[in-house]
Amino acid sequence: MTTSLNNFAQNVSPESFSACGFEQPASEGFKDKKITFLILFLIAFAWGFNYVIVKNVYSAITPFSYCASRFIAAGILLMLLAYYKSGANPFITDKKDMGMLALISFGGFGASNLLMAVALKYTLASTTSIILSTSPLITLIIAPLFKIDKFCFKKFMAILLSLFGIYCIFVDRQSLAAAGSNYYYGMMLAFFSTLAWSVYSIFSKPLLKKYSPIRLTANAVFISSFMMIPFAYGELAQTRWLSLPAFVYASFIFSIFFSTILPMIFWNICIKKTGPVTTMTFSNLTPAFSMLCGYILLQEPVSANQITGSFIVIVSIIIAYI
């Protein structure tokens, strides 16, 4: 399995894939296709599980402190990993790439996480999840405009189907009245967060033709982590880091390694291999996995609508990928 993953990460040829399917020789292409499917499936699971992991963390630490410290630590570790893998300066220094790197770091990854952290203060988690699930549709619309990926009608219909499935998952969670007076402000922030995440996934692909997924991921996360410091400085300074509950430290370890470093590296590998549209489609599995993990670990109730919605999302991913 390790050998297969190494070959998968190294033998990436974006030109050998189309937006609507793989065009490699049958046996080799099918093998890569299965590995890609499995990796994206695991990434969605890790992100869904992470929602459950951090759910109780915010009772001990503020969202900004948690978010900023998590990405600062991940950024430093990723840069060390990139240096270890290359044996050379891991920083991207080519002036021609500075603009695109700044776009995906500040306007993409950093903005997406900051805006979502603020959005969750003003609106329902279920609402933000539904809005975030529009990111594949946004990607499908924007990417062809910049000739980074191709428009595919089959994926367009599959994305719409997955949106309906996610709506079913959250339709009976909480009432609008419970959201508060700043509900629509939070919705606006969630939309811009979703747009920023699409920007990151779309405009990473041109840079991935030149830089390895590990190096690009390291630079993007490291740079964007510094963007978060001014917003979280006060909360970071007030946090009693040495007296936090044990489960917070455990959550940090999981979030840093299994929800940030590994998923982001393989996310960029999949973007390079299959394009941003196909990769983004799998992110719609995250709410379904979050619901499943919440049911198993926290005994959160699950309705028939949520089960139906999860099934619809899974079917939509299969339709988009076959």
Tens-digit pLDDT profile for residues 232-262: 888 888 988 889 999 889 999 999 999 999 9
The angle formed by the CA atoms of residues 178, 314 and 193, to the nearest 5 degrees, is 50
Query: pLDDT class for 101, splitting at 50, 70, 90?
Result: very high
Largest separation between any pair of C-alpha atoms in the chain? 57
At 194 the three-state DSSP class reads helix
Place of tokens 């939509």: 316
Q: How many whole angstroms separate alpha carbon 75 and alpha carbon 151?
A: 33
pTM as predicted: 0.82
pLDDT at 173 over 90: no
What is the predicted pLDDT for the residue at 31? 64
Burial class (CB in 10 A: 0-12, 13-18, 19+), 198: buried
Q: How many whole angstroms separate alpha carbon 90 and alpha carbon 17?
A: 28
What is the predicted pLDDT for the residue at 16? 40
At 18 the three-state DSSP class reads strand
Measure CA 147 to chain center: 22
Place of tokens 């973007």: 271
